Structure 1
Amino acid sequence: MNKTTMVSVIIPSYNRGSTIKLAIQSVLDQTYKNIEVIVIDDGSTDNTEEIILELNSDKVSYYKNAKNIGACGSRNRGINLAKGDYIAFQDSDDEWLPEKLERQLEFLSEEDCDIVSCSMQRIEGKKNEIYPPYVPENNSNSFNQLLFENFTSTQTILGKKKVFENYNFDERMPRFQDWELMLRISLFFNLKHLNKVLVKSYLQVNSISLNAKSAIAGLKLIYNIHKEAIEKNKSIEARFNLKIAEYMLANGENPKKYYKKTYDLSKSSKILLFYLMSKLSLNKLLFYFKKQYFSFKNN
């Protein structure tokens, strides 16, 4: 990879004064130095601007939205401002390992692909896990792999600028915007995964039910966008219905309709039990049971 190639790193932020410095500094500390950092402040009311100005780096450009437009809109604004040949995304509360950009650029060149994701370490209090929890196959059918299970996350993505000039984040998406974008991109561009942990993602400790409503809406949007492809594959269709059911359960809703669809497609005895409990309006008991013995965490 030519060291004169510039990478534009886009960081949307909203009231992340307590974490934004670490996020930006981890980008400035990259072993690959030809970068620009574009911070899009989405109308913060805290000390975000002050902290960024204190960094006093000529590599960092700061823009503040006149009104709150959301992370997707902010990232799209950053794409329009980017001057680099490549674009990467960082979240305002996460940390890159020093060799992230260098390793990804080398991989992208060696594999002759348009966009690359990497693995990351998810940290929540004393808990941590590696994501994705499996090794994606770098074959030509990344769309079907993604449709079955997302293996990307915004802060792990680096790609050629031409990719993002043609495909922006869908601003309707309340959640899973990275997954939705990568699905569209994988139909037309070569997407591969670098199986190396290069990002630390710090998850905020809060109730899953706080995010469940947006997760349900996001999953239903993705389902509608890719309905034809999803319904061609029973395993993929069952997985989508199960994800919706799990988030409905976490949101205090009765998911019997989606457990029924999942069971009809999978014939799983465990799903049949979940469906029967929901049918008997025991969904609150089921939620308690699953919270104790199963993981609700989804991508």
Structure 2
Amino acid sequence: MNIIFCTSPFQVLVAREVAKYTGEKFFGIYLKMSNDNRQKIYAEKMKEFCEDTLFIDNKEWVSELREKLANIKIDKFYLASLDNPVAHMIFNPNFMRLFTFDDGSTSIISPNMYTRYTDRVVGPEDITLENVINLSNGHYTIFDTNTVFPTEKLIKIPFDTKPDDFLKVTNGKTVKVFLGQALGNYVDEKDIKITEKLTRKALEEIGNTLYYAHPRVTVNVENAETIQSDKCFEEEIYDLLSNYENAEVYGFYSTSLLLVKDIPGVSVRCFRTFLTTNEVKILGEYGVESIDLPLSDTAVDIIMPVYNREKTVGNAIESVLNQTHKNFRLIIVDDGSRDGTEEVCRKYLNDERVIYHKVLHGGISRALNAGISLATAEYIARQDSDDEWMPWHLDFLLNELEQNDKLDIIGSKVDADRNKLQGGIKRNNFNNLSGEELWFKLAYKNMFNHSTVIYKKSAVEEAGGYDPECDGFEDWHLWARMVTKDNALVMNTLTAYYGLPEEDDKGMIFRSRLAKSRGLRLEDVLE
């Protein structure tokens, strides 16, 4: 006899396929993880492929399990939730062989909770997550690849949720469906509001949609018919296709999009938000098309001064055009470049949001002031021609600005190591810098990175703009005149790549730029 342990309706569907594939006998355990109706319903479904089952929803389960398994030898333990403490109370590596199976999006999207912090203890006798992964004798998967287990451990199994009595209609009707999902932390009040706002915007864009609410996510929507289904969508889709010839399925990054996309009559698309750029990129690799969904609709003008940067300016422009935020103009001010910079920039002028303005060479401050004079939006964002924004940059910072009308300027963090910027946005709610602390530190050190800054045009003009006599530390000089004790914020979240032109001179160029930003010569730093 084997034990198969589930904690979600989706896991039950995969467990059913595991039972079919192996042909072995199973004792099924379902651990209740929430209060939605599907928990009990799918626990009952385990009886269809298990000899006996146990539904864990109280503290009496230990004695119940002991009674049910009395005189029964357990050979294998099948687990999807690799770090579940209840599962590890039951699993005994000394007497049972471990096998694993898919736990939803963690199979294809990385980083995830099983690829991070693998040295953490997840069970008795200090067993770590890494130990669990290594103990698995094989991982049963419905996908072609896996983020957690090596290829040699993967056992590909079919995944079929079509009912035996399914009859597809041919009535020409189409239904639009949106799959609800939490974005960010589903218990954080700010993230709940973000999820609600983005969900409403998505539903408005789709129009005339059935909203399939996630059982653990409460979102108040008024522009769609809400469906509370007791089925996983992988099964629900066949009920829809019994009434509609075609189904257009939308969502953020639900695994269901992948699992229904090849069903005849079904098309799928996902929405790319500032919180889901990594997930959507991965879904794209599986053939799921995406639609950009900005959190903010605030207009912003982006000023990019450039001088002889033919090798890097293209990537800088691409990073702007790749933002999830869309309501912007990119004002490129060419400070009299003599290389191929102009030719590179002009390739992007077919996008009406891109403006190219060439001036006589006069230095970065004059170029910046020229850009400010061309700006018409309330907010101005700064971008350097050798740096690159991450797709979430504008949406993330504009959302913060919109929450605090006292702010005149906001910035974030950069890094010259691309590896630290992989895997989507990693918001850090600790060690943000603002108020008197920021105002005080700014007297001794430039606390803003120029390429991450967004400021109010009116505040910069009131401060007198950039001083051409201060090229090299023009930004720091402006902040010193502009920042007060309550109008500035530096977010401790990475949103930009700090580009260094020549690979062999990275260290020296970085020191040189850092020295200039502090009003020093490179020689002063090296002494």
If the length of structure 2 is used for normalisation, what is the TM-score? 0.38
Residues 217 and 183 from structure 1, CA distance in 2 versus in 1: closer, same or farther, beyond 3 angstroms?
Answer: closer
Residue in structure 2 matched with residue 40 of structure 1 by the alignment? 333
Distance in 2 (CA, whole Å) between partners of 1:144 and 1:5 is 30
The answer as to whether partners of 2:295 and 2:325 remain within 8 angstroms in 1 is no
Give the one of 135, 139, 155 matched to 2:435: 139
Distance in 2 (CA, whole Å) between partners of 1:73 and 1:181 is 13
Residue in structure 1 matched with residue 343 of structure 2 by the alignment? 50
Deviation at 1:103, TM superposition (A): 0.5
Distance in 2 (CA, whole Å) between partners of 1:78 and 1:10 is 6
1:115 aligns with 2:426: no
The answer as to whether partners of 1:42 and 1:68 remain within 8 angstroms in 2 is yes
Distance in 2 (CA, whole Å) between partners of 1:71 and 1:24 is 18
- 5 Å-filtered alignment, 1:155-166, equals 155-166=451-462
Instruction: Give the length in aligned residue pairs.
Output: 220
Residues 84 and 50 from structure 1, CA distance in 2 versus in 1: closer, same or farther, beyond 3 angstroms?
Answer: same
The answer as to whether partners of 2:298 and 2:398 remain within 8 angstroms in 1 is no
Q: Aligned AA for 1:86?
A: Y
Residues 58 and 3 from structure 1, CA distance in 2 versus in 1: closer, same or farther, beyond 3 angstroms?
Answer: same
Give the one of 276, 281, 299 matched to 1:6: 299
Residue in structure 1 matched with residue 474 of structure 2 by the alignment? 177
- Deviation per CA, 1:10-51, whole angstroms, max 9, x where unpaired? 000111111111101111111110000000011111222221
The answer as to whether partners of 1:117 and 1:192 remain within 8 angstroms in 2 is yes
1:200 aligns with 2:507: no
**Higher mean C-alpha deviation, range 183-192 or range 35-44:** 183-192
Deviation at 1:158, TM superposition (A): 0.3
Distance in 2 (CA, whole Å) between partners of 1:213 and 1:149 is 14
Deviation at 1:99, TM superposition (A): 0.9
Q: Aligned AA for 1:116?
A: I
Deviation at 1:111, TM superposition (A): 3.4
Deviation at 1:201, TM superposition (A): 0.6
**Higher mean C-alpha deviation, range 186-195 or range 69-78:** 186-195
Identical aligned residues as a percent? 32
The answer as to whether partners of 2:416 and 2:499 remain within 8 angstroms in 1 is yes
Residue in structure 2 matched with residue 150 of structure 1 by the alignment? 446
* Gapped regions of structure 2 (runs ≥ 5): 1-293, 422-429
Residue in structure 1 matched with residue 356 of structure 2 by the alignment? 62
Give the one of 364, 367, 378 matched to 1:71: 364
Q: Which has the higher helix share?
A: 1
Deviation at 1:150, TM superposition (A): 1.9
Deviation at 1:123, TM superposition (A): 4.2
**Higher mean C-alpha deviation, range 115-124 or range 31-40:** 115-124
Q: Aligned AA for 1:91?
A: D
The answer as to whether partners of 1:136 and 1:151 remain within 8 angstroms in 2 is no
Distance in 2 (CA, whole Å) between partners of 1:106 and 1:19 is 28
Distance in 2 (CA, whole Å) between partners of 1:155 and 1:35 is 16
- 5 Å-filtered alignment, 1:1-299, equals 3-55=296-348, 56-65=350-359, 67-112=360-405, 113-123=407-417, 135-167=431-463, 168-187=465-484, 190-205=487-502, 206=505, 208=508, 215=515, 219=519, 247-248=523-524, 250=526, 287=527
Q: Aligned AA for 2:316?
A: A
Distance in 1 (CA, whole Å) between partners of 2:367 and 2:385 is 12
Distance in 2 (CA, whole Å) between partners of 1:213 and 1:14 is 15
Q: Aligned AA for 2:356?
A: Y
Distance in 2 (CA, whole Å) between partners of 1:120 and 1:214 is 13
* CA RMSD, Structure 1 to Structure 2 (Å): 3.2
Could you say what secondary structure the match of 1:12 adopts? strand
Deviation at 1:106, TM superposition (A): 0.7
If the length of structure 1 is used for normalisation, what is the TM-score? 0.65
The answer as to whether partners of 1:216 and 1:247 remain within 8 angstroms in 2 is no
Q: Aligned AA for 1:103?
A: F
Distance in 1 (CA, whole Å) between partners of 2:369 and 2:391 is 25
Distance in 2 (CA, whole Å) between partners of 1:14 and 1:97 is 22
Deviation at 1:53, TM superposition (A): 1.7
Q: Aligned AA for 1:21?
A: G
The answer as to whether partners of 2:306 and 2:335 remain within 8 angstroms in 1 is yes
Residues 189 and 40 from structure 1, CA distance in 2 versus in 1: closer, same or farther, beyond 3 angstroms?
Answer: farther
Could you say what secondary structure the match of 1:155 adopts? helix
Residue in structure 1 matched with residue 42 of structure 2 by the alignment? none
Q: Aligned AA for 2:473?
A: F
Could you say what secondary structure the match of 1:140 adopts? helix
